[in-house]
């Protein structure tokens, strides 16, 4: 399964809920992500999946650990909307980030959240998943937010994994 932008948001959330239905996923440039944070409610985290989606619903990390996952984004896809003063403030805040603060800052609708561009969002997601989930981050140099621009790396990713299923 592959999705770009809003589709990338859908794909990774679908993977959390139905990983057993997928062979490989490509998550392209989502504006917002759901972290596998069991302290934060959906859609920012996975704390309340049972309440939102019904009894027995859990993020299937064991299945995701075995699944080929690609994160695809343009190297210039890091625009956060706002004026010049806001952007200067935001750059200062990004420099203050440490690995320990990533999950707290990625809680998308929490007060005091730090907005990141799509490139930084996927880097943060990749960092947060390093508990055994190993996505391949593909950054296309010089590309802004353009689904056609990541098509070659996405096709190469799926071509490799489709061949492994057929062989």
pTM of the model: 0.79
Residue that is written with structure tokens 């489709």 in the block: 162
DSSP β-bridge partners for residue 27: 3, 71
CATH placement of domain 2-166:
3.40.50.1820
Q: pLDDT confidence of 109, banded at 50, 70, 90?
A: very low
Domains of the chain, residue spans? 2-166
Q: pLDDT for 5-15, tens place per residue?
A: 999 999 999 99
User: Rounded CA gap, 72 and 58, in Å?
Assistant: 25
Contacts of 77 (CB under 8 A, 6+ apart): 29, 117, 118, 119, 143, 144, 145
pLDDT tens-place string over residues 41-81: 999 999 999 999 998 899 989 999 999 999 999 999 987 65
Average pLDDT, the chain: 84
Question: Which among 109, 142, 137 is positioned nearest to 122, based on CA atoms?
Answer: 137
Could you tell me the two tokens for 146? 């353009």
Q: Dump the DSSP string for 47-67.
A: TTHHHHH-TT----HHHHHHS
Q: Omega of the bond prior to 43 within 30 degrees of 0, cis?
A: yes
CA dihedral 34, 37, 42, 43 (to 10 degrees): -10
Of the candidates 32, 23, 17, which has an alpha carbon nearest to the alpha carbon of residue 1?
Answer: 23
List 140's β-bridge partners, or say none: 74
Of the listed ranges 98-102, 121-125, 145-149, the least confidently predicted one is 98-102
């Amino acid at each position: 399964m592959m999705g770009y932008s809003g589709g990338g948001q859908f794909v990774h959330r679908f993977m959390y809920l139905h990983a057993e239905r997928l062979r490989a996923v490509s998550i392209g440039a989502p504006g917002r992500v759901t972290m596998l944070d069991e302290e934060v409610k959906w859609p920012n985290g996975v704390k309340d999946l049972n309440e939102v989606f019904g009894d027995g619903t859990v993020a299937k990390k064991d299945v995701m650990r075995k699944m080929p996952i690609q994160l695809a984004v343009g190297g210039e896809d890091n625009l956060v909307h706002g004026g010049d003063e806001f952007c200067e403030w935001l750059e200062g805040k990004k420099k203050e980030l440490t690995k320990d603060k990533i999950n707290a800052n990625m809680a998308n609708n929490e007060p005091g959240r730090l907005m990141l561009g799509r490139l930084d969002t996927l880097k943060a997601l990749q960092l947060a998943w390093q508990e055994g989930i190993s996505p391949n981050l593909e950054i296309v140099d010089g590309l802004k937010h353009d689904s056609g621009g990541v098509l070659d790396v996405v096709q190469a990713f799926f071509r490799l994994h489709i061949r492994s299923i057929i062989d």
